[in-house]
């Protein structure tokens, strides 16, 4: 039986019934084809393994050729330089918070404010030889008020270790 979908020939309820039956048959064919494929189980339910595509869609233009690396990219690859930026914040195990790596309230400030610094094993001899800072001669200054405060606290125990 051939049914014409012309509104003058067929009433609207027959047309709706024909479209509904046709849609139901199409969906049943699609679902039965999907369930005939091999399936994998997953937490969401069974997943059908679709077959590999049999037809490749044509392209209007050919695939673009890869661009040659620039001088900088070649240099960076040769030297092992990566373009990944480091995070600004780092996890501090002691305070269990994220702190800045550098700058105000940064991890580097904790190392600068230590009163004792460990001397590395490969440090030169000049780092470990203490030397005293003598006060300047008093005849250069007319009064003690012109002396900087670092010279007023002079004692043999004020020792600086540096280069």
Write phi, then psi, for 132 (nearest 5 degrees). Answer: -95, 150
Q: Is residue 21 part of a domain?
A: yes
Q: Is residue 7 part of a domain?
A: yes
pTM greater than the 0.75 cutoff: no
Q: Is residue 97 part of a domain?
A: yes
Structure tokens at 132: 């005293």
Write phi, then psi, for 99 (nearest 5 degrees). Answer: -125, 160
Q: Helices marked H in the chain — which ranges?
A: 12-35, 71-79, 107-112, 149-152
pLDDT digit string (tens) for the chain, length 163 residues: 455 555 565 678 888 999 999 999 999 999 898 888 898 888 988 888 888 888 888 889 998 999 999 999 999 999 988 877 778 898 988 889 998 888 888 887 777 777 777 777 777 665 555 545 555 555 544 554 555 555 555 445 444 544 4
Q: Which of 60, 55, 35, 31 is nearest to 46 (CA)?
A: 35
Output the furthest CA–CA distance in the chain (Å, rounded).
126
Q: Is residue 14 part of a domain?
A: yes
Phi-psi region of 61 (alpha: psi -120 to 50; beta: other; left: phi over 0): beta
- Assess contact for 152 and 144: CB atoms under 8 A: yes
Residues 6+ apart with CB under 8 A from 81: 75
Q: Domain total for the chain?
A: 2
Q: Is residue 113 part of a domain?
A: yes
In terms of Cβ atoms closer than 10 Å to its own Cβ (0-12, 13-18, 19+), residue 112 is exposed
Q: Is residue 132 part of a domain?
A: yes
Tell me which residue range forms the domain holding 20.
1-33
Write phi, then psi, for 106 (nearest 5 degrees). Answer: -90, 170
User: For position 78, what pLDDT does the model report?
Assistant: 94
Q: Is residue 140 part of a domain?
A: yes
Q: Is residue 160 part of a domain?
A: no
User: For position 6, what pLDDT does the model report?
Assistant: 57
User: For position 141, what pLDDT does the model report?
Assistant: 47
């Amino acid at each position: 039986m051939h049914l014409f979908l012309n509104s003058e020939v067929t009433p609207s309820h027959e047309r709706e019934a024909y479209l509904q039956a046709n849609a139901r048959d199409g969906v049943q064919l699609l679902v039965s084809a999907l369930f005939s494929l091999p399936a994998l189980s997953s937490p969401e339910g069974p997943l059908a393994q679709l077959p590999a595509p049999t037809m490749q869609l044509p392209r209007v233009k050919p695939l673009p050729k890869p661009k040659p690396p620039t001088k900088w990219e070649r240099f960076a690859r040769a030297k092992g330089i990566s373009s990944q930026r480091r995070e600004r914040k780092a996890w501090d195990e002691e305070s269990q918070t994220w702190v800045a790596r550098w700058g105000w309230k940064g991890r580097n400030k904790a190392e600068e404010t230590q009163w004792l610094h460990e001397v590395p094993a490969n440090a030169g001899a000049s780092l470990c030889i203490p030397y005293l800072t003598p006060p300047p001669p008093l005849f250069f200054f007319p009064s003690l008020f012109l002396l900087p405060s670092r010279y007023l606290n002079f004692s043999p125990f004020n020792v600086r270790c540096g280069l």
